[in-house]
Amino acid sequence: MRSGKSVLLIIGGGVAAYKALLLIRLLKTAGIGVRVVLTRAGAEFVTPLSIGALSGEKVFTDLFDLTDEAEMGHIQLSRAADLVVVAPATADLMAKMSAGLAGDLATTLLLATDKDVLIAPAMNVRMWEHAATQANLATLRARGVAVVGPDEGDMACGEYGPGRMAEPEAIFAAIQEKLEESRIDLRGPGAGAEAADLRGKRIVVTSGPTHEPIDPVRYIANRSSGKQGQAVASALAARGAEVVLISGPVRLDAPPGVERRDVETARDMLETTLAALPADALVCAAAVADYRVADAADQKLKKADGAGRSLNLIENPDILATVSALPEGERPRLVVGFAAETQDVIAYASAKRERKRCDWIVANDVSQGVFGGDENRVTVIDADGAEDWPRMGKDAVAVKLAERIARALT
Ligand code: C5P
């Protein structure tokens, strides 16, 4: 199966380079051609031989510079593909791109290309957070470079934080989105309807935790990272849907192509969700706090020596149940909830589906490090029964769910 599309993949030097091999496989399976340029530093982590075996194409490195110049010029190489992808994009590569340096094959191609560029940054957390890198990132973004990731998590260097390269599935989804955009540009509106089957559909997604104030400086929260909800929003947008993402406080940038409305509390989230309707579908991926403090203090609470303190908690409104109970015409045609359980997942989740009167429940077992992690193992429960999905990246879950939603709505 050939899509007729191709990408030029530049592999920079970093531990994450091995993930580029998985990306090549995903692209080839989807019928997307891949031509690879391996930087000198990248060649310290993966070999031209393994890349060539996967891509089925000659791999370009500085070592082959002269012969390649005879066969295919730099300019031609930089423009033959539909999209240029840099993964991993190291701090060094980003700095060179930002400054317009062209000291080697990869940077020369990046400067010479007339195609869109997508980067997947990967570096140590301090390097990522350094003002220099953030300034380079802002420059690249301002020039229209698309960015996927980085993710937050344990790093090969032993530190924790943002800097891990996005998973291959997420980069793949971002590539598909970019290729879809370029196809629309080339063929005009309405083209490519088979992949953009949610065009014209409006979908609201809730995501992330809520923060319920105790006093002006303290709040009740939970460990939700918002990754799964944002991935769902991105995957729906990639299929052409108009997506409103209603997000509690998270450390993630808003995904491209999605309108994100930021909220704090469950009550804000409910109000903002109702205001975003009507919609064709609602996906409630948020980990909404079940309770809030009844009498949150206006001033910072002081420690009363020796004495304990108790919080008076009252129940929050249930967004999923509220929207599911809206009358026909106001209720989205499809309402999807998530259920994070630690035991008897299917039984609890099925009961939840009936109690909240939503159409589907995406149930996941959170007893094994799903919160904040990059992987998920879910069971989708609807009126007809339960469908078990294998363990996969949260992005892959999102892509599969978006596909299922598209089938239900079209
Ligand atoms: O917390 P619980 O297991 O009940 O959450 C199940 C589903 O209900 C999730 O989809 C969550 O987003 C939604 N929910 C909600 N409002 C609440 C609590 C949960 O929309 N107050």
Same domain, 338 and 371: yes
Mean per-residue pLDDT over the chain, rounded: 89
Same domain, 91 and 169: yes
Residues 6 or more apart whose Cβ sits within 8 Å of residue 215: 296, 297, 298, 299, 300, 301
Q: How does residue 2 score in pLDDT terms, banded at 50, 70 and 90?
A: low
Is 11 near ligand 1, meaning CB less than 6 Å away? Answer: no
- Is residue 157 annotated as a catalytic residue, yes or no? yes
Same domain, 30 and 98: yes
Task: Check: CB of residue 277 under 8 Å from CB of residue 204.
Answer: yes
Same domain, 241 and 175: no
Q: Domain of 165: which CATH number? A: 3.40.50.1950
Structurally, how many domains does the chain consist of? 2
When pLDDT is averaged across residues 32-56 and rounded to a whole number, the result is: 93
Widest pairwise Cα distance in the chain? 82
Q: What is the pLDDT of residue 336?
A: 98
Lowest mean pLDDT among 7-11, 260-264, 306-310, 350-354: 306-310
Q: What is the pLDDT of residue 68?
A: 52
Same domain, 177 and 277: no
When pLDDT is averaged across residues 381-395 and rounded to a whole number, the result is: 88
**In this structure, is the dihedral angle defined by the CA atoms of residues 339, 264, 374 and 156, taken in order, positive or negative?**
negative
Same domain, 175 and 279: no
pLDDT digits (tens, 9 = 90+) for 158-176: 778 889 999 999 999 999 9
Q: Does the residue 34 lie in any domain?
A: yes
Q: What is the pLDDT of residue 36?
A: 95
pLDDT tops 70 at residue 293: yes
Is 360 near ligand 1, meaning CB less than 6 Å away? Answer: no
Please state, in angstroms and rounded to a whole number, the distance separating the CA atoms of residues 153 and 164.
7
Q: Regarding predicted confidence, which is higher, 314 or 396? A: 314
Catalytic residue among 75, 99, 135, 157: 157
Which range marks the domain in which residue 388 is found?
202-297+310-409
CA distances from 405 to 6, 189, 224, 270, 335 (A): 28, 23, 23, 22, 10
pLDDT tops 60 at residue 71: no
Q: Regarding predicted confidence, which is higher, 42 or 62? A: 42
Nearest atom, ligand 1, residue 290 CA? 21
Is 284 near ligand 1, meaning CB less than 6 Å away? Answer: yes
Lowest mean pLDDT among 56-70, 128-142, 260-274, 367-381: 56-70
Same domain, 181 and 208: no
**DSSP letters of 183-217?**
HHHHH-TTTTTTT-TTTT-EEEEEESB--EESSSS
Span from the CA of 338 to the centroid of ligand 1 (angstroms): 7
pLDDT tops 60 at residue 75: yes
Residues 6 or more apart whose Cβ sits within 8 Å of residue 333: 280, 281, 409
Is 266 near ligand 1, meaning CB less than 6 Å away? Answer: yes
Span from the CA of 249 to the centroid of ligand 1 (angstroms): 16
Tell me the whole-structure pTM to 2 decimals.
Answer: 0.59
Q: How does residue 406 score in pLDDT terms, banded at 50, 70 and 90?
A: very high
- How many Cβ atoms sit within 10 Å of the Cβ of residue 232? 30
Q: Does the residue 194 lie in any domain?
A: no
3-state secondary structure at position 374? coil
Phi, psi for residue 270 in degrees, rounded to 5: -65, -50
Is 288 near ligand 1, meaning CB less than 6 Å away? Answer: yes
Q: What is the pLDDT of residue 66?
A: 45
Please state, in angstroms and rounded to a whole number, the distance separating the CA atoms of residues 338 and 250.
18
pLDDT tops 90 at residue 278: yes
Same domain, 165 and 213: no
Q: Domain of 347: which CATH number? A: 3.40.50.10300
Same domain, 284 and 160: no
Sole residue written with tokens 């919080």: 311
Q: How does residue 368 score in pLDDT terms, banded at 50, 70 and 90?
A: low
Same domain, 214 and 320: yes
Same domain, 265 and 397: yes
Pairing of strands 375-376, 334-341: unpaired
Lowest mean pLDDT among 125-129, 150-154, 265-269, 330-334: 150-154
Span from the CA of 319 to the centroid of ligand 1 (angstroms): 7
| Residues across the chain | 410
Determine the straight-line distance between the first and last CA of the chain, rounded to whole angstroms.
24
